[in-house]
Amino acid sequence: MKTKIKELRAKYNLTQEDLAKKVGVRRETIVFLEQGKYIPSLKLAWDVAKILKTTIDELFIFEAEKK
């Protein structure tokens, strides 16, 4: 999974810590989200998208598994 979290955080001048506090998670969760190592719950995805003024579809890019 790829995300645009890092780019949008920069656009709105938010640190990982700022975003984490706004959505009620630890900074490490934001780090893992940005690295594509953590798939968020629907609520967390919604909350992050809302803070970054975008949609879940625009924020998270799910790639099909390669077989």
How many domains does the structure of the chain reveal?
Answer: 1
Asked whether the beta carbons of 34 and 40 are under 8 A apart, the reply is: no
57 within some domain? yes
**More confident: 67 or 31:** 31
Cα–Cα distance between 46 and 67 in angstroms, integer? 30
Q: In terms of residue numbers, what domain contains 18?
A: 2-61
Residue 67, in any domain of the structure: no
Within a domain: 21: yes
Q: Residue 12 is part of a domain; what is its CATH number?
A: 1.10.260.40
Interval 9-57: pLDDT, tens: 999 999 999 999 999 999 999 999 999 999 999 999 999 999 999 999 9
Whether residue 20 is contained in a domain is answered as yes
> pTM of the predicted model, to two decimals?
0.89
Does residue 23 lie in a domain region? yes
pLDDT at 67 over 60: no
How does pLDDT run across 49-65, given as a tens digit for each residue? 999 999 999 999 887 65
**Residue 66, in any domain of the structure:** no
Question: What Rg, from alpha-carbon coordinates, does the chain have?
Answer: 11
